[in-house]
A and B are shown apart, each in its own frame.
Chain A
Amino acid sequence: MNFLDQIWLIPLFPLFGAVVMLLFGSKLDPQPASDVAVAPGVELTHDGHEAAHHHHGHTHEHAHEHVTGHDHHGGGLKTVVSLLCPGMVLLSLIWSAGAVLQLANVPERSHEVIQFTWLAGLPFHMAGGRLATFSADWGFLLDPLSSVMILVVTGIGFLIHVYSTGYMAHDNGYYRFFGYLNLFVFFMLMLVLANNYALMFVGWEGVGLCSYLLIGFYFHKKSAGDAGKKAFVVNRVGDAGFILGMLLMFSVLGTVKFVDVRQILGSGNFRAETAGFGVLSTMALLLFIGATGKSAQIPLYVWLPDAMEGPTPVSALIHAATMVTAGVYMVARSAALYQLTPHTSTIVASVGAFTAILAATIALVQNDIKRVLAYSTVSQLGYMFLALGVGAYWVAIFHLFTHAFFKALLFLGSGSVIHAVSGEQDMRRMGGLKDKIPITHWTMFVAALAIAGIPGFAGFFSKDEILWQAYSSQQGSNALYVVGLLTAGLTAFYMWRLMHMTFYGRSRVAPEIEAHIHESPASMTVPLTLLAIGSVLAGWIGTPRLWGMSGWFRGFEQWLEPSFASAAVEAVKEGAHDASTEGILMGVSIALALIGIGIARYCYHIRPEIPGAIEARCGPIHRTLSNKWYVDEIYDFLFVNGFAKGGGTLLGAFDRNVIDGGVNGAGWFTRFSSSFSIWWDTWIVDGTVRLTSLLVKVSSYPVRIVQTGRVQAYALFVVVGALAFFGYYLAR
């Protein structure tokens, strides 16, 4: 079969699933359509459930059955949903894989399928006086860049669909959920397969819509509705930038087709805007504003943590692995443009770096397991933009690729944890789950190592490459490198803090819930396992140049090369940095990752399994704190009360003077930076958002006051309008 010419089919499979679900779903799923969804992620005593209870008497029993995990109502037709929707994504995956394999045999590594002219245009004179006719096709482009994206979307998407059949099994909105999810996959595939910016924008808006619908899936939670709306409105601000950038691109370049744009920009008619901030830089900046909205970068990142109100598989698929990377993909797609606009690229890199470290510091103090991961996602996306900004496009995509595996895994794992502890999301009420849900633990263990950047795991390769590029590329600088490095350390710390609080130590789970803890069904653990394998292997296709490997081990960069060919990839400041520098830097980052993990262990490890020097030092602290148990009290101890007051005579002199002093200092810094971040988040960012909406609201009042309802007043305004017209003539 010629998959290459059938790439237009790839998005259509999930669309079919979505249409069937949304039109006929209520008939497949025997639940009453008006029923209120009760999710595993919702604690039963929440107001939401009481509201549900108020409406439907039977919901309560249903939810209780669910808690014990033995409820399998629905049956028959519901299986159709469970087979159809993941099946459709699987078909997409097969077609994608087929197409990508065939693409490898195409010499120019690029294949376009144009179905029809979508937005036909009229001839007009461009800024330069040239006559141009603009049109955008309903067309699809498969090249190395989009092939990576479709594999990620359909591959990870399929696993998450399978996972969802288990996770969402007890939800009343089952068909609705899968309908939205399939619709999302459709739009996401449109986004990455489109051959021009206009069609890309279809997917761009579509994924935003699905994200909105899925965030607000638990519609009886008010916070869910607000979060959904916040996401959509914030995204629209970014979209305004995207539209303007696209229109400007058209008026300057005369086309918005990826291939043509790259060719025109690479033709030499446009020179790099090194001197000033010209039209290309404006264009690039506008597009980047669009990217900051979708990919949750400063200043538009505020919606992503709130988006965690949605079901966990949604967080995994949309808010970690795919949709939020759309901005990264778009900027990488525009590589030829950013190549010519060093100033904008610097902005991209700086915004990325700043976002990375800001989000990482916020993640340090979050107690909601999903919020930690959300901020972590923001931070990792910052890394990708950092890579884009320094001109290392393939590295950004590489990190996107590996991140998709381990972050999806982390989210799904956290979903499994939440599932196990009956909807609890607060890590302070977890702990000691390691042996009760072993598969979840071990898979998350792998993911945590991957994100921390431990050699051999996927995250290491991509993150290290980003750091190296930030240091060595022409666009890079020492400052960017240091920020990236610090973020890496913080990442290792907060991720292992999460692991410790969740899986190790003594259980802090409420007794009545503890009795119900159980490992998730196979439909959930199998995707976890597969993702864990991916989290190890995915990085090996992009091993550092330093390691001197070849072939598959450096396959990623070679595969992507045609996509960024016109871009002078990796303009490494040769000579300035040699192999030994790279080795040293790698060592530093590994060391920092280990230190981060170590500190996390030091601070949060409760029952040391592995004897060692660090654990030995932990001992006194552990004993000291054993009567003040909860981890948040460690915080109080370290950060609030101060060490001297709490420690007192129980600590040995060594501990007090050396180790604890260090911890205290680090703690002070962490507390300061994170409270600054929170302050920034609450007052500056949220404040700006609130102020804007307040301003918008307030400004609508004068309009209403004028609207008195008196017809004479209306007539007066007609006359005033006419007078203003006349006045214009006189004032001219």
Chain B
Amino acid sequence: MSQYYSTNEAFALTPALTLALFGCWILVFDFLFANSKQKRYFALVVVAGLIFAGVGLYRQQAFLATSGDSSIIAFSGALTIDRFALYFNWVFELATLIVALVSYNYLEIEGEHHGEYYALLLFAQCGMFFLAAGTDLVTLFIGLELMALCFYVMVGFLRGDKRSNEAAIKYLLLGAFSSGFLVYGFSIMYGLAGSTRLTDVAAAIAARPAWDPLVFLAMTTTAVGLLFKISAAPFHMWAPDAYEGAPTTITAYLSVASKAASFAFLLRIFLGPLAPARDAWEPLLAAVAILTMTIGNLAAISQTNIKRLLAYSSISHAGYMLLGLIAGNDTGIQGIAVYVMVYAFMNLGAFLVVIALRRKNIIGDDVDDMAGLMYRSPGYAVLMLIFLLSLAGIPPTAGFLGKYYIFLSLIETHHYLLAVIATLYVAVAIYYYFRIVKTMFVGELTEKAPLATSFGLRVALGITGVLTLAVGVYPEPVLRLAQNSFLR
């Protein structure tokens, strides 16, 4: 562990620094691009920022590969760049890239095209970087708040829209509320360890019995805060409202990047300091996972708004991912990692199609707006079909992989009941995904004109679509990345 500040720190911090700098650049030079048409160049700036940050990540990855070290530890242990952190950062990169590509056209239609939006995207990803790489309670907490704050603003970005305002206020209030729980748990961990470094906390907790009351208190309150962020039941209730009200691009970003970052955080805590208390939290999380799958899948059935439907579907996905943590063996953790990645592009893809439906005067977030899409724009319908199949976990799409490894890990660790419940809920999930498919392929055509979409959206759809299929058929690279992410 290095005790000095040197190039080591700078090297470790490069991606976050780059993101923050590009964010600031956008804020400063916002005045240069006066009208809405010119502001679309900001999307390019975001892409540039992502590329630079990506180079930083790549160099870190290369360093780890060549030096043989398992991690780069900086700021005396407050920041750890390991493969786990890098893996999740790649997911964030992908999500931000896709969202930036589709945002400019969407914001123009909504009439809220401002540079701040792009800056907030970058700042949010900056916060996520610390969520994945932070190994200090304070770093993690501030990273979480940085990300959350960006999301509060972005969710309410459609200022003229009451739904958007309401969503932002609800998310803000409940987010702050849950952060209270989280930070209370952290304070107890600090009390136990006398340090905020995760390694110290882990040592302190390992020294105590699994059912120690204080450890349990710290665990539960932390869990409440974290489960809120990944929208697990019964802490999920903000999600449908926030998802529905937010600009669709942000709904996509929120459902993917925020969830991935929160999962990174969750894994860091539960596989790190809280690992010794597994006996205590395993049944709790199992109950949460079952409840989450139940609520997510059942509530989705009766939704008529696609964004809301996908919100509940995203809740249920959080439940499946939690199962991997409950199984807790290598396959399970790999399963979560794969699931997070795969979920990122398939869910983004599904939202992209919803975004494509948005035009002047047409909100396009009702299931019926999809009617007869196959005969209007077959390409979009086929892509949506692929994304929905993937969300439903049907091979050979990528979504199958995530579920496969999760279920496999459950069987491997003899959680047969959980496996049966989860598998049955997958069958239920088909029901609502196929309501959309049915509307697209069998629904009565209400509108004949094909969809008019922006270049960025088509590129983004191409990326997500190809990934969803390619990873499903040839998952080797993703699997290897996911395995390396946690195997030392």
Residues of chain B contacted by A36 (CB below 8 angstroms): 375, 445
> Across the interface, do A729 and B474 meet the contact criterion of CB distance under 8 Å?
no
> Across the interface, do A205 and B438 meet the contact criterion of CB distance under 8 Å?
no
Residues of chain B contacted by A216 (CB below 8 angstroms): 438, 441-442
* B2 contacts partner chain A, Cβ-Cβ < 8 Å: no
Give per-residue flags for A284-315: 1 if the beta carbon is below 8 A from chain B beta carbons, else 0.
Answer: 00000000000000000000000000000000
Residues of chain B contacted by A564 (CB below 8 angstroms): none
Across the interface, name the chain B residue whose C-beta is closest to A187: B396
* B414 contacts partner chain A, Cβ-Cβ < 8 Å: yes
* B160 contacts partner chain A, Cβ-Cβ < 8 Å: no
Which one of A120, A693, A722 contacts B479 once the chains associate, using CB atoms below 8 Å?
A120
Residues of chain B in range 302-353 having any CB-CB distance to chain A below 8 Å: 302, 329-331, 334
* A270 contacts partner chain B, Cβ-Cβ < 8 Å: no
B476 to chain A, nearest CB (A): 6
Known: A122-B334, A239-B427, A697-B302. A726 touches B444 (CB 8 A): no
Residues of chain A contacted by B109 (CB below 8 angstroms): none
Residues of chain A in range 688-732 having any CB-CB distance to chain B below 8 Å: 693, 696-697, 699-701, 703-704, 706-707, 709, 711, 713-715, 717-718, 720-722, 725-726, 728-729, 732
A216 to chain B, nearest CB (A): 5
Which one of B224, B298, B378, B441 contacts A26 once the chains associate, using CB atoms below 8 Å?
B378
Across the interface, name the chain A residue whose C-beta is closest to B472: A202
Known: A699-B298, A707-B299. A34 touches B445 (CB 8 A): yes
> Across the interface, do B181 and A722 meet the contact criterion of CB distance under 8 Å?
yes
Across the interface, name the chain B residue whose C-beta is closest to A122: B330
> Across the interface, do B411 and A700 meet the contact criterion of CB distance under 8 Å?
no
> Across the interface, do A251 and B238 meet the contact criterion of CB distance under 8 Å?
no
Across the interface, name the chain B residue whose C-beta is closest to A729: B216
* A232 contacts partner chain B, Cβ-Cβ < 8 Å: yes
Residues of chain B in range 352-384 having any CB-CB distance to chain A below 8 Å: 372, 374-376, 378-379, 382
| Stretch of A242-250, A355-363, A421-429 contacting B (4+ beta carbons < 8 Å) | A242-250
* A144 contacts partner chain B, Cβ-Cβ < 8 Å: no
> Across the interface, do B476 and A124 meet the contact criterion of CB distance under 8 Å?
no
A78 to chain B, nearest CB (A): 17
Residues of chain B contacted by A55 (CB below 8 angstroms): 445
Bound: A138/B479 CA distance, A:
15
Give per-residue flags for B386-405: 1 if the beta carbon is below 8 A from chain A beta carbons, else 0.
Answer: 00010000111000010011
> Across the interface, do A714 and B238 meet the contact criterion of CB distance under 8 Å?
yes
A635 to chain B, nearest CB (A): 35
* A220 contacts partner chain B, Cβ-Cβ < 8 Å: yes
Bound: A594/B476 CA distance, A:
59
Give per-residue flags for B116-155: 1 if the beta carbon is below 8 A from chain A beta carbons, else 0.
Answer: 0000000000000000000000000000000000000000
> Across the interface, do A33 and B375 meet the contact criterion of CB distance under 8 Å?
yes
* B295 contacts partner chain A, Cβ-Cβ < 8 Å: yes
Which one of B299, B408, B444 contacts A220 once the chains associate, using CB atoms below 8 Å?
B444
* A40 contacts partner chain B, Cβ-Cβ < 8 Å: no
Category for how many chain B residues contact A = 35 or more
Across the interface, name the chain B residue whose C-beta is closest to A219: B442
Residues of chain A contacted by B213 (CB below 8 angstroms): 729
Give per-residue flags for A174-201: 1 if the beta carbon is below 8 A from chain B beta carbons, else 0.
Answer: 0010000000000000000000001001
Residues of chain B contacted by A50 (CB below 8 angstroms): none
> Across the interface, do A700 and B301 meet the contact criterion of CB distance under 8 Å?
yes
Residues of chain B contacted by A35 (CB below 8 angstroms): 375
* A240 contacts partner chain B, Cβ-Cβ < 8 Å: yes
Bound: A701/B442 CA distance, A:
27
Give per-residue flags for B275-319: 1 if the beta carbon is below 8 A from chain A beta carbons, else 0.
Answer: 000001001100000000001001111100000000000000000
> Across the interface, do B298 and A700 meet the contact criterion of CB distance under 8 Å?
yes
A-B contacts at CB below 8 angstroms, number: 188
* A69 contacts partner chain B, Cβ-Cβ < 8 Å: no
Known: A34-B448, A120-B476, A250-B411. A726 touches B220 (CB 8 A): yes
* B204 contacts partner chain A, Cβ-Cβ < 8 Å: no
B285 to chain A, nearest CB (A): 10
Residue from A134, A201, A700 having most chain B Cβ neighbours under 10 A: A700
> Across the interface, do A122 and B483 meet the contact criterion of CB distance under 8 Å?
yes
* B428 contacts partner chain A, Cβ-Cβ < 8 Å: yes
> Across the interface, do B438 and A124 meet the contact criterion of CB distance under 8 Å?
no
> Across the interface, do B479 and A124 meet the contact criterion of CB distance under 8 Å?
no
Bound: A198/B400 CA distance, A:
10
* A479 contacts partner chain B, Cβ-Cβ < 8 Å: no
Known: A696-B298, A725-B223. A228 touches B395 (CB 8 A): no
A732 to chain B, nearest CB (A): 8
* B470 contacts partner chain A, Cβ-Cβ < 8 Å: no
B212 to chain A, nearest CB (A): 10
B481 to chain A, nearest CB (A): 12
Which one of B173, B395, B420 contacts A244 once the chains associate, using CB atoms below 8 Å?
B420
Residues of chain A contacted by B434 (CB below 8 angstroms): 212, 229, 232-233
Bound: A438/B394 CA distance, A:
45
Which one of B224, B372, B427, B430 contacts A718 once the chains associate, using CB atoms below 8 Å?
B224
* A100 contacts partner chain B, Cβ-Cβ < 8 Å: no
* B473 contacts partner chain A, Cβ-Cβ < 8 Å: yes
Bound: A715/B179 CA distance, A:
12
Bound: A51/B446 CA distance, A:
12
* B407 contacts partner chain A, Cβ-Cβ < 8 Å: yes
Across the interface, name the chain B residue whose C-beta is closest to A728: B284
Bound: A138/B395 CA distance, A:
12
> Across the interface, do A696 and B301 meet the contact criterion of CB distance under 8 Å?
yes
Residues of chain A in range 479-497 having any CB-CB distance to chain B below 8 Å: none
Give per-residue flags for B449-484: 1 if the beta carbon is below 8 A from chain A beta carbons, else 0.
Answer: 010000000000000000000000111100110010
Known: A711-B170, A718-B235. A236 touches B476 (CB 8 A): no
Which one of B174, B221, B410, B443 contacts A711 once the chains associate, using CB atoms below 8 Å?
B174
Residue from B217, B334, B408, B428 having most chain A Cβ neighbours under 10 A: B408
B438 to chain A, nearest CB (A): 5
Known: A696-B431, A711-B174, A715-B174. A721 touches B224 (CB 8 A): yes
Residues of chain B contacted by A117 (CB below 8 angstroms): 476
> Across the interface, do B424 and A240 meet the contact criterion of CB distance under 8 Å?
yes
Across the interface, name the chain A residue whose C-beta is closest to B233: A721
> Across the interface, do A722 and B221 meet the contact criterion of CB distance under 8 Å?
yes
Known: A240-B423, A700-B298, A722-B181. A51 touches B441 (CB 8 A): no
Residues of chain A in range 502-530 having any CB-CB distance to chain B below 8 Å: none
Residues of chain A in range 211-236 having any CB-CB distance to chain B below 8 Å: 212-213, 216, 219-220, 224-225, 228-229, 232-233, 236
Residues of chain A contacted by B448 (CB below 8 angstroms): 34
Across the interface, name the chain A residue whose C-beta is closest to B333: A122
Residue from A251, A699, A703, A728 having most chain B Cβ neighbours under 10 A: A703
> Across the interface, do B423 and A228 meet the contact criterion of CB distance under 8 Å?
no
Residues of chain B contacted by A205 (CB below 8 angstroms): 394-395
> Across the interface, do A718 and B228 meet the contact criterion of CB distance under 8 Å?
yes
Bound: A706/B173 CA distance, A:
18
* B241 contacts partner chain A, Cβ-Cβ < 8 Å: yes
Across the interface, name the chain A residue whose C-beta is closest to B169: A711
* A121 contacts partner chain B, Cβ-Cβ < 8 Å: yes
* B419 contacts partner chain A, Cβ-Cβ < 8 Å: yes
Instruction: Apart from A209-B394, A718-B234, list 14 A-B contacts with CB within 8 A.
Output: A23-B379, A55-B445, A119-B404, A127-B414, A138-B474, A232-B430, A232-B434, A233-B427, A251-B411, A715-B173, A715-B174, A715-B177, A718-B178, A725-B284
| 26 A–B pairs (Cβ distance < 8 Å), ordered by A | A36-B375, A51-B444, A120-B475, A120-B479, A120-B480, A120-B483, A123-B330, A125-B412, A201-B395, A206-B396, A212-B437, A216-B438, A220-B444, A240-B424, A243-B407, A700-B299, A700-B301, A704-B302, A711-B169, A711-B170, A718-B178, A718-B228, A722-B220, A726-B220, A729-B211, A729-B213
Which residues from chain B sit less than 8 Å from chain A, CB to CB?
A: 169-170, 173-174, 177-178, 181, 211, 213, 216-217, 220-221, 223-224, 227-228, 234-235, 237-238, 240-241, 280, 283-284, 295, 298-302, 329-331, 334, 372, 374-376, 378-379, 382, 389, 394-396, 401, 404-405, 407-408, 410-412, 414, 419-420, 423-424, 426-428, 430-431, 434, 437-438, 441-445, 448, 450, 473-476, 479-480, 483
List the 4 closest pairs (A to B, CB-CB), nearest first. A225-B442, A725-B220, A703-B299, A714-B237
